[in-house]
Structure 1
Amino acid sequence: MFDISALDLARMQFAFTVSFHIIFPAFSIGLASYLAVLEGMWLWKKEDRYIEVFNYWKTIFAVGFGMGVVSGIVMAYQFGTNWAVFSDKAGPVIGPLMGYEVMSAFFLEAGFLGVMLFGQKRVGPRLHFFATLMVAVGTLFSAFWILSVNSWMQTPTGHIINAAGQFVPDDWFNVIFNPSFPYRFVHMVLAAYLTTAFVVGAVGGFHLLRDKTNKHARLMFSMAMWMAAIVTPCQMLAGDQQGLNTLKHQPAKIAAIEGHYENVKGAPLVLFGIPDNEKAELLYSIEVPRLGSVILTHSWDGELPGLKSFPREDWPNTFLVFWSFRIMVGMGMIMLLVGLWSLLRRSQGRLYDDVWLKRAAVAAGPVGFVAVLCGWITTEAGRQPWTIYGLLRTADSASPLSGAEVGATLLAFILVYFTLFGTGVYYMLRLMAKPPAAARETATTSLKRASGLTGAPSTLDQTDR
């Protein structure tokens, strides 16, 4: 197919499907926790606006969760179709970890999802909150196991290689808690929370631009801006720690991220440039002296590796890694700016009055998704040419398929994905465009019933009047 090898087509197909898949779980992880917080706040404060916002986002969560499940199933099938050699060699490690994810995470999510979505009038409010909490915990368990799998591929430990060339677990603790896992897990979960916060903030800002007095939109906007202001700096600290870990275990990836071809002491921070692997140099670079060493080694004279320290056949796609990282960082700076802006306006008592802040929040709605995708590209493209870093090459992991076979399935995936997931995203946007409406009777009646006060007047009826 256009003289592209079956290996390249298989990589393109995996990249395409994982790009669709990762955005839905990232949104689901953050939104599940947000729903748990909303329902917990409702039980604590007895204010209807919390459960009404919960009901607003509950349906959106269900759609996103469903699309995440569907895209995840496709991902699993590709291991057997396009990457059979990898599945055979890494199966003894990867298979059980994926199985643990299904048993401990997916079953937990699926078991309580129905109660969360449809059980509000059928079970007590505290049992319903427990179901919502279990769904949120399930999404975190899912992230735990998937990040453990991927981190082991990045920094493999706790295994032996048997006579058949298979990776066999020798120490499950070291397999699961491999050197890069803690840093990557924290970084991914915080990324999911920020992604969700900026979607919620965009929806809240959108509806506040239409009606500044909408109490539901105010709640969304306020909570989202708190997350932006608090979690973004935490994410930057987590990213710094992951960078130190990557320098230790995957120095070639850091060399590609920084655009360094030579070992550099007191390395500058390269803001922009054009990496050229053919010439082995960075063209048109704009640099801040010594700041690269300060950030990555925490030393003014720290030494950073260059790509020339590694065999040419082990170099990743430097241009792709270099720019995907910078786009990710750029998205992070936008998040930080919006968060600090919101803090300033909140301190002035003008959080809901600044039209430009609300417009900025709406415009920044997708930045979390862009950051997640670019972070994933940096991680995966920077690992190349390895599927299991330093031990199994990507070229040695693929199934013995022809380019025509892989190309045909890639085209089918493109058509089906854009149709199916395009429709799903359109439906979610339609739901978000509807202003959150009050559901006073449902919310107050359920709490009254649980408290045995159905026939008596309640102070809840006066909330927000």
Structure 2
Amino acid sequence: MDMTPLNLSRIQFAFTITFHIIFPAFTIGLAAWLCFLEGCSLVTGRSIYRRLSDFWLKIFAVAFGLGVVSGIVMAFQFGTNWSELSRRTGPIQGPLLGYESFTAFALEAAFFGVLMFGRNRVPPVVYFLACLMVAVGTCLSAFWIMVNNSWMQVPTGFAQTPDGIIVPTDWSAITLSRVVLVRFPHMVLAAFVTSAFCIAATGAWYMLRGHAVQEGRAMLTMALRLAAILVPIQIGFGHLVGDYVHDLQPAKFAAIEGRWEDEQPASEVLIAWPDEAAQANRFAVAIPYLGSVIGSMSLTAKEVGLKSFPPNDRPPVLIPFLAFRVMVGCGLVMLGLAWVGSWLSLSERLYGARLFLWSTFLSFPLGFVATITGWFAAEVGRQPWTVYGQIRTADAVTPFLTTPQVATSLAIFASVYALIFSFGVLYIYRMLRAGPIPARDHGRQTTNPKRPLSVPGGSPGVDAAAEFGR
């Protein structure tokens, strides 16, 4: 790849969005988890739910801050690196990004303070409602971002002026399109599943260490059972996302499938190494007929290949092809772990199954990997278009950018992000390692409103036989 301003700008945006998506993928689900814990505490009165909520709130606060910091620079890049995109699509993208600030950020900022400082200053019902508002705010943020990105994937409800400016003509078509209605739940469910496996992995870690055993059992059981329900639903929405790609972005679909020639019926390539120079797959393993079933729910349907499109309208093949398979593989592993873990928990065999506990502990990156590779497949597969079928990526970049300018900003971003990420992850790790405040100390920590919220020390866990009892 030539290090042109265009390619460096693409690398820079890919780097910042890949770094940033880690944190929303965690905090969207974690906000819902906090809301769930507070609801359980209100209904049952058991202190374990409050202890878990206080513990995960500190993790949420750090991750939320990292997400805000890492996301700010992306908006600036629309002006510095992609000014032509901003100029031509500003009438649509500008309001959508503004709606995110006016709705999502307003809710999150207003009620996040209640979560951090209002535990002993507001009634429990009010505290629960604040948790709910923060959770709604995180989902609203995801909604507006998904509306914006989905419009770029499949633009609707617009017209072009004679000078090439794209203006909205139907906001309902933009905000409630078929693409938004499947991609938004797909993203939110991905965040929920990612958080569920982080929580389950933390519980498994505590069980293996014999530390905070009561809380570890609770986290492990609840998170795996939740994931056992959510992962199949997520897979279902993933299939619906594939349907819109098949119908509305056929070149991307062909790249993801690694299909070069038109086929009827079409086989499904399970694994291969796409060779774009030869326009063929190396080391391919394929299943006959399955491609037609997946694409069109038919044993005889014709499926289009990449050679049906002009070379300059084809996306890169290798990245979408491999990224999609990594995403699906992570999803299947998470499904297996969630179902096996839920089955083991029903017979009380989960907590002594050390091999399964290790497997669950090591599964914590799967949700992040699946989310990132899913975005890789979606975004790289959209190329060579920034706004599909309307604005090419090469025409969206800022004119007169030079290679040294973009290379310098990329190096600065990479250095700053690496520093922030290292310290943030280290701090989160230390909080996770310390674990929740033990039940015997929790009352003293939370009943004094003047006592600051602190990172707990490494106190031993409560006896596992008392699970959910206090």
1:269-280 to 2 correspondence within 5 Å? 269-280=268-279
Deviation at 1:283, TM superposition (A): 1.6
AA matched with 1:357: F
What stretches of structure 2 of length at least 5 have no aligned partner?
449-465
Structure 2 Cα separation of the partners of residues 463 and 233 of structure 1: 28
Map 1:79-118; keep pairs closer than 5 Å: 79-118=78-117
User: What corresponds to 2:291 in structure 1?
Assistant: 292
> Which residue of structure 2 lines up, in the alignment, with residue 348 of structure 1?
347
Instruction: Output one character per residue of 1:210-262: Cα deviation in whole Å (capped at 9) or x when no partner.
Output: 22871111111011101221111111111111111110110111100000011
Question: Structure 1 residue 3: deviation in Å?
Answer: 5.1
1:28-427, aligned counterparts within 5 Å? 28-211=27-210, 214-400=213-399, 401-427=401-427
1:464 counterpart = 2:469: yes
C-alpha distance in 1, partners of 2:63/2:104?
Answer: 17
Percent identical among aligned pairs is 45
Letter matched to residue 403 of structure 2: G
Question: In the TM superposition, what whole-angstrom CA distance separates every residue of 1:399-442 from its partner, at most 9, and x where no partner exists?
Answer: 02001100110011111110112211111111111122235426
Q: Residue 270 of structure 2: SS of its match in structure 1?
A: strand
Displacement after TM superposition at 1:462 (Å): 12
User: C-alpha distance in 1, partners of 2:255/2:226?
Assistant: 32
Q: Of 440, 443, 450, which aligns to 1:441?
A: 443
Residue 458 of structure 1 corresponds to none
Distance 2:8 2:376 in 1: 17
* Deviation at residue 114 of structure 1 after TM alignment: 0.6
- Aligned-partner Cα distance in 1 for 2:144–2:254: 29
What displacement does 1:464 show?
Answer: 2.4
Cα distance per residue 1:104-149 (max 9 Å; x no partner): 0011101100101111011111111111110000000001100000
Question: CA contact under 8 A between 1:48 and 1:444: conserved in structure 2?
Answer: no
With the length of structure 1 as denominator, give the TM-score of the two structures. 0.94
Query: Is the Cα–Cα contact under 8 Å of residues 240 and 296 in structure 1 kept in the other structure?
Result: no
Name the amino acid aligned to 2:469. D
Which segment drifts farther, 14-23 or 300-309? 300-309
Where does residue 431 of structure 2 map in the other structure? 431
Alpha-carbon shift at residue 346 of structure 1 (Å): 2.1
Cα deviation, 1:177-213, whole Å, max 9, x if unaligned, reads: 2231111111101100010001001100000112287
Which amino acid is the alignment partner of residue 106 of structure 2? Answer: F
**Compared with structure 1, are the counterparts of its residues 212 and 294 closer, same or farther at alpha carbon in structure 2 (3 Å cutoff)?**
farther
Letter in 1 for 2:443: E
Contact 1:274 1:285 in 2 (8 A): yes
Distance in 2, Cα, partners of 1:213 & 1:141 = 34
* Structure 1 position 337, deviation (Å): 1.2
Shift of 1:350: 1.1
Number of aligned pairs? 450
For residues 42-96 of structure 1, the C-alpha deviation after alignment (integer angstroms, 9 at most, x for no partner) is: 0000000001000110010000001111111111000000000000001000000
TM-score (norm 2): 0.93
Distance 1:221 1:276 in 2: 43
1:289, 1:6 → 2: CA distance?
43
Cα RMSD between the aligned structures?
1.7
Distance in 2, matches of 1:274 and 1:445, equals 60
Give the whole-Å Cα distance in 2 for the aligned partners of 1:102 and 1:444.
33
Partner of 1:14: 13
Superposed structure 1 runs of 4+ greater than 3 Å apart: 442-446
1:450 aligned partner = none
Match of 2:460 in 1: none
Amino acid at match of 1:425: V
Q: Which residue of 2 aligns with 1:449?
A: none
The answer to whether the 8 Å contact 2:212/2:436 transfers is no
Tell whether the 8 Å contact from 2:254 to 2:306 is kept in structure 1 after alignment: yes
Q: Distance in 2 between matches of 1:277 and 1:3?
A: 17
The AA in structure 1 aligned to 2:360 is A
Residue 38 of structure 1 and its aligned partner are, at CA, apart by 0.3
Shift of 1:351: 1.9
Measure the CA separation in 1 of the matches of 2:283 and 2:274: 9
What displacement does 1:150 show?
0.2
State the alpha-carbon separation in 1 of the partners of residues 338 and 323 from structure 2.
Answer: 23
Q: Distance in 1 between matches of 2:92 and 2:357?
A: 47
Rounded to whole Å, the distance in 2 between the matches of 1:111 and 1:7 is 39
Contact 1:155 1:179 in 2 (8 A): no
Give per-residue Cα distances to partners, 1:263-288, cap 9 Å, x unaligned: 11221121111111111111210011
List runs of 5+ in structure 1 lacking aligned partners. 447-460
